[in-house]
Amino acid sequence: MPTNGKFLYSAFYTFTNQDLIALFNNLGLKTKVERGNRVFPASDKSSDVIRALEKHLKNNNVKVLTGEADEIIAENRKVTAVRVKDGRLLPCHSVIVATGGMSYPSTGSTGDGYRFAKALGHTIISPRPSLVPLETVESWPREAQGLSLRNVSITVLDEDSKKIYEDFGEMVFTHYGVSGPVILSASSYMRKMQAGKYRIKIDLKPALTLEQLDARVQRDFLKYARRHFSNSLDDLLPKKLIPVIIKLSGIPHDKPVNQITKKERLTIVSLLKGLELNIKGFRPIEEAIITSGGVSVKEIDPGTMESRLVKGLFFAGEVIDVDAYTGGFNLQIAFSTGYLAGLNC
């Protein structure tokens, strides 16, 4: 758990992942477990999740009021009402701020929750993107734009060449750099992003050792001995990546394969086992899957999710300064903290 994991112990204990699965199953939503123990609707339709929750509201006679909240009103450090932008005043003794962060603003996550909390005296840890694509210093990913690679491994190194993360799976090249599941996960470990601080090494052939890959390249070169270098890599690489590897190798594209030296061949092998990219920065927070940062956990009671500053003020989900890796963990945070806040408000 990257950020403030201990704060979530009570929430996870009160409403576990198994509790969540059971809830959905009881509401008629069938689930399935995929690689990495990730749980999805059996239908692969997020709309089925929404319908199940709407059914739960209806079954429990929950009255739903709609409108855009503008202000949470508190008197003598106690919540008394919510003001809506159309001018209505909704009296209440408690309110749960579950507005999300600043990612995906089209869903309504525009950062309003931070404004509400700050106006009532809460400290906001500066929001930043997490689980987000990465921009690279190098421009060559643009040449491979749209290329998705499966079964590659990546290693993230800091400025001291210290390994901070490694993963195996799928990634994609884009016009700005790199994205895809392993890249999004890697971004969570880049806690103090600045240009030049991090670099990624991509192993395009993780199933082979250097020696095994060298032997494979030698076989291909023997097979295509009479071809030019640019026409000898079709069995080894996707077409979009071939010009990139040729350019990075420094070997003339029209050099006959039977004239490539051992040193040049080993350069190619090293590239395939350690294709390096320097990270310039994150993509904008609007493109991030989640927001890191938010309402300081020091000002929230972890056993109830209630504010320590204002009675009747509760927080749940991404608006709090908690975030996790990809794989459904952030959704579980939202459900567990929401459940705990609901029990106590």
Amino acid at 173: F
Tens-digit pLDDT profile for residues 182-208: 999 899 888 777 777 899 999 999 999
CA atoms within 13 A on the CB side of 207: 4
Same domain (yes/no): 96, 73:
yes
Looking at the structure, tell me whether residues 138 and 153 fall in a common domain.
yes
Instruction: Of 279, 284, 281, give the one whose Cα is nearest residue 138.
Output: 279
Q: Same structural domain for residues 147 and 173? A: yes
Task: Return phi, psi of residue 251, to 5°.
Answer: -90, 130
Bridge partners (DSSP) listed for residue 290: 130
Do residues 339 and 300 share a domain?
A: yes
Task: Note whether 187 and 218 are same-domain residues.
Answer: no
Neighbours of 213 (CB within 10 A): 20
Looking at the structure of the chain, the number of domains it has is: 3
Dist. CA 209–CA 23, nearest whole Å: 47
Question: Using 50, 70 and 90 to split pLDDT, how confident is the model at 107?
Answer: confident
**Can you state the angle between helices 262-273 and 242-249, rounded to 10 degrees?**
130
The DSSP-derived string for 88-127 is -EEE-S-EEE----SSSGGGT-SSHHHHHHHHTT--EEEE
Cα Rg of the chain (Å, integer) = 25
User: Average of pLDDT values for 146-163?
Assistant: 93
**pTM score, whole prediction:** 0.82
pLDDT tens across 13-45, in order? 999 999 999 999 999 999 988 776 778 899 989
pLDDT score of 36: 67
Q: Are 13 and 114 contained in the same domain?
A: yes
133 within 8 A of 284, measured Cβ to Cβ: no
Same domain, 151 and 88: no
Same structural domain for residues 94 and 47? Answer: yes
Give the domain range for residue 336: 5-129+291-344
Q: Which of 224, 249, 275 is the last residue of a domain?
A: 275
Q: Beta-strand (E) ranges in the chain?
A: 31-34, 38-41, 69-75, 78-84, 89-91, 95-97, 124-130, 134-136, 148-157, 163-173, 177-179, 199-203, 275-282, 290-295, 313-315
Q: Can you spell out the DSSP letters for 305-322? A: -BBSSSBTEEE-GGGBS-
Percent of the chain with pLDDT over 70: 99
